[in-house]
């Protein structure tokens, strides 16, 4: 199959629309449609289901799409390896990450790697927890900086550090002086929650099974930056690791009280690599650099914060 046909096919699958794919490729929609029809005729199967809202791959289309993306990624890795033979490290490193690590950890790491290897480019994406498994399996990404979770199959954990999910609040909150908390002890206080509670939901179901208690969110959002502002304003308790809020905790503007439930108190964040992925030279270098930096970052997180400053509500 010609490389251009594969590229057209990949774009149609990504955009879910022949017209949008054509716009992205700067070619006529009729040309893209013609190539897809020709490809379906050659394969002897329908590759896309066509509907009013767009197109989506059939089961056969998904198989071909996996091959196309593996072929494209392998080509890019091979180009990077050939370039490295001459002493030049180049190529794109694709990383998926927790939003907290993307905000507080990865910018400095990318900056350091860019200074060392100016021909390396980076694609760094925050990923929805429900999409992590597919994002790791897809072949589109080199590795993830994510929670270590037994539900992620077919991955190797290269490096990790322990962290804990806790109750995050202002220092003038009634629970701010506690050394630890249970979720039950947070009931009765206003809370704010991320829209996807993939880690909390199962724990809450067990915690509240006997009592029938429940946490009723006052604010729900999918943005950690928005949550930072509403917690600082005193609208409620949030449930997070300290990572995304470490600067506010260090300055005494917020307090992080660990939760004692085992599934929350013993969390780990690590570098997750798809088990059978052949990494390019820049991806290997990036993993090594992140591994080194994770140790220093863990020490930084473990350092005692400043004494919180109690203040009146605003």
The CATH code of the domain that includes 129 is 3.40.190.10
CATH code, domain carrying 45: 1.10.10.10
Give the pairing of strands 54-57 and 143-147.
Answer: unpaired
Verify that 50 and 8 share a domain, yes or no.
Answer: yes
Residue 205 lies in a domain: yes
Residue 75: the pLDDT is: 74
Residue 159 pLDDT > 60: yes
Residue 164 pLDDT > 80: yes
Convert the pLDDT of each residue in 207-256 to its tens digit.
Answer: 777 667 778 889 999 888 899 999 999 999 999 888 889 889 989 999 99
pLDDT band at 197; cut points 50, 70, 90: low
Verify that 188 and 237 share a domain, yes or no.
Answer: yes
Domain boundaries, position 147 = 92-162+267-302
Residue 79: the pLDDT is: 72
| Length of the chain in terms of residues written | 314
Verify that 152 and 291 share a domain, yes or no.
Answer: yes
Which residues have C-beta within 8 Å of that of residue 7, sequence separation ≥ 6? 25
pLDDT > 70: percent of the chain? 90
Residue 45 pLDDT > 60: yes
- Of 64, 81, 103, which residue is a domain's last? 64
- Determine contact, residues 93/121, Cβ cutoff 8 Å: yes
Residue 156 lies in a domain: yes
Verify that 137 and 217 share a domain, yes or no.
Answer: no
Euclidean distance between CA atoms 305 and 254, whole angstroms: 10
Residue 114 pLDDT > 90: yes
Q: How far is CA 194 from CA 50, 220, 239, in A?
A: 35, 6, 8
> Which residue do the tokens 């890019």 mark?
76
Residue 305: the pLDDT is: 58
Convert the pLDDT of each residue in 62-88 to its tens digit.
Answer: 888 888 877 777 777 677 677 666 667
Verify that 246 and 292 share a domain, yes or no.
Answer: no
| Higher pLDDT among residues 303 and 147, named by residue | 147
Q: Among candidates 187, 178, 170, 190, which has minimal Cα distance to 255?
A: 170
Verify that 56 and 205 share a domain, yes or no.
Answer: no
Verify that 155 and 175 share a domain, yes or no.
Answer: no
Residue 198 lies in a domain: yes
Verify that 211 and 144 share a domain, yes or no.
Answer: no
Residue 74 lies in a domain: no
Verify that 259 and 273 share a domain, yes or no.
Answer: no
Q: Among candidates 25, 18, 5, which has minimal Cα distance to 51?
A: 18
Residue 110: the pLDDT is: 94
Verify that 287 and 236 share a domain, yes or no.
Answer: no
- Of 64, 79, 103, which residue is a domain's last? 64
Residue 84 lies in a domain: no
Residue 124 lies in a domain: yes
Residue 54 lies in a domain: yes
Verify that 273 and 216 share a domain, yes or no.
Answer: no
Residue 16 lies in a domain: yes
- Determine contact, residues 29/22, Cβ cutoff 8 Å: yes
> Which residue do the tokens 């930056």 mark?
225
This prediction's pTM: 0.67
End-to-end alpha carbon distance in the chain = 65
Residue 206 exposed, middle or buried by CB count within 10 Å (0-12, 13-18, 19+): exposed
Verify that 248 and 274 share a domain, yes or no.
Answer: no
Euclidean distance between CA atoms 239 and 166, whole angstroms: 5
pLDDT > 90: percent of the chain? 25
Q: Which of 36-50, 95-109, 150-164, 297-311 has the lowest mean pLDDT?
A: 297-311
Euclidean distance between CA atoms 138 and 119, whole angstroms: 25
Number of domains the chain is built from: 3
Q: Residue 275 is inside which H or E element, if any?
A: none
Euclidean distance between CA atoms 165 and 202, whole angstroms: 14
């Amino acid at each position: 199959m010609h490389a251009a046909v594969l590229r057209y096919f990949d774009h149609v699958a990504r955009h879910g629309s022949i017209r949008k794919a054509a716009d992205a490729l700067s070619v006529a929609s009729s040309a893209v449609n013609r190539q897809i029809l020709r490809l379906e005729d050659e394969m002897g199967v329908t590759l896309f289901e066509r509907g009013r809202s767009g197109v989506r791959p059939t089961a056969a289309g998904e198989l071909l799409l996996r091959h196309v993306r593996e072929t494209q990624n392998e080509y890019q890795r091979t180009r990077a390896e050939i370039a490295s033979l001459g002493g030049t490290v180049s190529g794109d490193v694709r990383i998926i990450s927790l939003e907290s690590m993307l905000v507080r950890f990865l910018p400095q790491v990318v900056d350091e790697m860019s200074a060392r290897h100016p021909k390396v480019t980076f694609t760094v994406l925050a990923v929805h927890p429900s999409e992590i498994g597919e994002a790791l399996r897809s072949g589109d990404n080199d590795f993830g900086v994510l929670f270590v979770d037994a539900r992620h199959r077919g991955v190797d954990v290269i490096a990790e550090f322990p962290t804990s999910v806790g109750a995050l609040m202002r220092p003038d909150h009634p629970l701010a002086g506690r050394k630890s908390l249970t979720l039950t002890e947070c009931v009765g206080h206003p809370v704010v929650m991320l829209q996807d509670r993939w880690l909390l939901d199962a724990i809450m179901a067990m915690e509240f099974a006997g009592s029938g208690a429940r946490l009723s969110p006052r604010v729900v959002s999918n943005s950690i930056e928005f949550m930072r502002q509403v917690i600082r304003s005193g609208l409620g308790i949030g449930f997070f690791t300290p990572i995304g809020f470490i600067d506010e905790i260090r300055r005494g503007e917020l307090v992080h009280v660990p939760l004692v439930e085992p599934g929350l108190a013993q969390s780990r964040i690590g570098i997750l690599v798809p088990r059978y992925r052949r990494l390019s030279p820049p991806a290997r270098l990036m993993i090594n650099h992140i591994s080194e930096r994770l140790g220093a970052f863990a020490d930084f997180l473990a350092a005692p914060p400043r004494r919180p400053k109690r203040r009146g509500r605003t």
